Amino acid sequence: MFIGIDDTDSAVTGMCTTYLAAEIMLAFPELDVIGHPRLIRLNPMVPWKTRGNGAVSLELGKGEGERFPIAMINGRIIYGHEKKARNGNVSMKDAEERLTALIDKWGQMGDEKTNPGFVITEERPPEGLFWRAVWEVITVEDALSYLPEGSVYKGFKNGRGIIGSSASIAWNPKHDRTYEIIAYRSPERWGTERDIDEASVIEMDRRFPHTFNNYDYANRHIAISPNSPCPVLCGIRGDDRKELIPALEAIRGEEKDRWTLFISNQGTDQHILDAVIGDIKPFSSYHTHGTVSSRPERIEGGHIIVSMKDRGYEAYCAAYEPTKGFRNTVSLLRPGDEIEVWGGVSDAVRNGKLTINLEKIRVVGAADIVEKIANPLCPHCGKRMKSIGKGAGYRCSVCGGKAGEDEAKFRTVKGEERIATGYYEAPICAARHLSKPLKRMSVQNSVAFL
């Protein structure tokens, strides 16, 4: 059977849905886990998400074939199994009771944004459910319409957790997948400051080449560790699951009480839809292209915005304040630059245009810019002339002689002198869980920061 669970966490009171993967394993001691537990991220633009919009699911049964470590709980390694040999002897009804008890124990019901749910199915729902839940804003009824007959589900409060629970089961790893090993703290430490040795994170980052988003060198920030009061000590992401246990062991600091090794869609760009600017809509995320159509401006809050156009449609692109040095790159764009951008769109409208919240950009072509370097010299007295006004030409303050706009001295700045073509991404400290890091795109010519 497949079990999905979602939205038990709270940014305010702590807790983390991923913690429940281990609790589910403990609640079904007579069953094996088939494959890896899943940590699936869904549409980051959903307005009511709790933090990372992540849902967890597992397949339980009697396993066979290759065994691989998927968790360490109470000092004991738990193994996942390559294949299911047969169903286990737990009824849907029994499973429902055990999961209800888990939510009663762990769900952060006091937080108005926390709306837990779980789903139990005998078969995976169609993959289309996952794609809708990562691209769109869907309802509980939408999600339920995909569930196979005989599925059991339960929603608490408004029950939105049912959406993630079922979408997590529906996800198909064949398109792309990563892994994350998440280590948890002993319960008595929850809510206290975390003790993680920064040097050991940097060493680990260098030793394990298939891990990603470990350390933000530009901002000197440990990216494997959250700041919330939740039970997570740290999480290490990577493409090679065999690297992740030794990578976690390399982290020095407080004791790791338990860990779970998830398969995930983090770092895959699965939230991104390819579209032209004219087709982008609020609450989805896009990869689109166009020509820069304004000079970048700094707006209130330290954000940088610039507009881009394609076939008569225009949108703003924004590098928000938390993206730090990435804003410097966006500030270098000029009208005429050809760019591709990746990012989410909210429902905010500025000057009639939607705004793409930039996760990364690719400068495809940098325009040559003609810039004025000096006012003209007076042909009579050789004195540098003064501008009369924008577009109105120049006048000599000594003899009153006049000159046109085009008599000033200009030079052409080659596009590549201003900004190199290639990919640029928001720093790790501001990266979305789903954003594919440039490291995973096998891009060699990237310059992440200027």
Which lies closer to Zn ion via its Cβ, residue 295 or residue 380?
Answer: 380
262 bridge partner residues = 180
**Which span (52-60, 329-337, 389-397, 402-410) binds Zn ion, by CB under 5 A?**
389-397
For residue 376, the minimal CB distance to Zn ion (Å) is: 10
Residue 383: what residue type? K
Q: How far is the CB of 395 from Zn ion (least distance, A)?
A: 9
- In this complex, which beta carbon is closest to Zn ion, that of residue 253 or of residue 401? 401
Q: How far is the CB of 403 from Zn ion (least distance, A)?
A: 10
User: What's the min distance (Å) between Cβ of 444 and Zn ion?
Assistant: 55
* 403 is an interface residue for Zn ion by CB under 5 A: no
Q: Give me the least distance between CB of 398 and Zn ion, in Å please.
A: 5
Contact 217, 448 (CB under 8 A): no
DSSP 210: T
Q: Over the range 106-142, which residues count as b (16 or more CB within 10 Å of their CB) and which as e?
A: bbbbebebbbbbbbbbeebbeeebbbbbbbbbbebee
CA pair distance 212, 415, nearest whole angstrom: 31
378: contact with Zn ion by CB under 5 A = yes
Q: Is 393 in the site for Zn ion (CB under 5 A)?
A: no
User: Smallest distance, Å, CB 405 to Zn ion?
Assistant: 18
Q: Which of 335, 401, 420, 443 binds Zn ion (CB under 5 A)?
A: 401
When asked if residue 398 is in the footprint of Zn ion (CB under 5 A), the reply is yes
Among 105, 281, 295, 380, binds Zn ion (CB under 5 A): 380
- Residues 27 and 98 sit within 8 Å (Cβ to Cβ): yes
Cα distance from N-terminal residue to C-terminal residue, the chain: 50
Angle at 75 between CA 70 and CA 77, to 5 degrees: 25
Q: CB under 8 Å, gap of 24 or more: what pairs does 378-382 form?
A: 378/403, 379/403
Stretch binding Zn ion (CB under 5 A), from 97-105, 251-259, 372-380, 417-425? 372-380
Q: Alpha-carbon distance 154 to 4, whole Å?
A: 11
**Of 322 and 393, which has the nearer Cβ to Zn ion?**
393
**Window 246 to 285, contacts with Zn ion (CB under 5 A):** none
Residue 325 is which amino acid?
G
Select the span of 38-46, 95-103, 356-364, 375-383 touching Zn ion (CB under 5 A): 375-383
C-beta closer to Zn ion: residue 58 or 396: 396
Question: Of the candidates 381, 388, 392, 450, which one interacts with Zn ion according to CB under 5 A?
Answer: 381
Among 276, 299, 348, 399, binds Zn ion (CB under 5 A): 399
Q: Which residue has the tokens 């001295």?
A: 409
Nearer to Zn ion, 378 or 430 (CB): 378
- What single DSSP character describes residue 384? B
333 near Zn ion, judged by CB under 5 A = no
> Checking DSSP bridges between strand 409-413 and strand 402-403, what pairing results, if any?
unpaired
In the complex, least distance from residue 385 CB atom to Zn ion, rounded to whole angstroms: 7
Smallest gap, in angstroms, from Cβ of residue 388 to Zn ion? 14
The SS3 call for residue 404 is coil
Name residues contacting Zn ion, limited to 279-298 (CB under 5 A).
none
Q: Which stretch binds Zn ion (CB under 5 A): 125-133, 161-169, 180-188, 397-405?
A: 397-405
Cα 63–Cα 71–Cα 34 angle in degrees, nearest 5: 20
Q: Which is nearer to Zn ion, 197 or 407 (CB)?
A: 407
Q: Which is nearer to Zn ion, 85 or 392 (CB)?
A: 392
Question: 255, 262, 238: which is closest to 75 by C-alpha?
Answer: 255
Number of residues that bind Zn ion (CB under 5 A): 7
396 scored as a contact of Zn ion (CB under 5 A): yes
Q: Is 100 helix (H, G, I), strand (E, B) or coil?
A: helix
Choose between 298 and 380: whose C-beta lies nearer to Zn ion: 380
Residue 119 φ then ψ, to 5°: -140, 140
CB of 407 to Zn ion, least distance (A): 13
Within 8 A by CB and 6+ apart from 373, the residues are: 409, 410, 411
What distances in angstroms separate CA 75 from CA 230, 231, 255, 256, one per listed residue?
21, 17, 12, 10
388 near Zn ion, rule: CB under 5 A: no
Note the residues at the interface with Zn ion (CB under 5 A).
Answer: 378, 380-381, 396, 398-399, 401
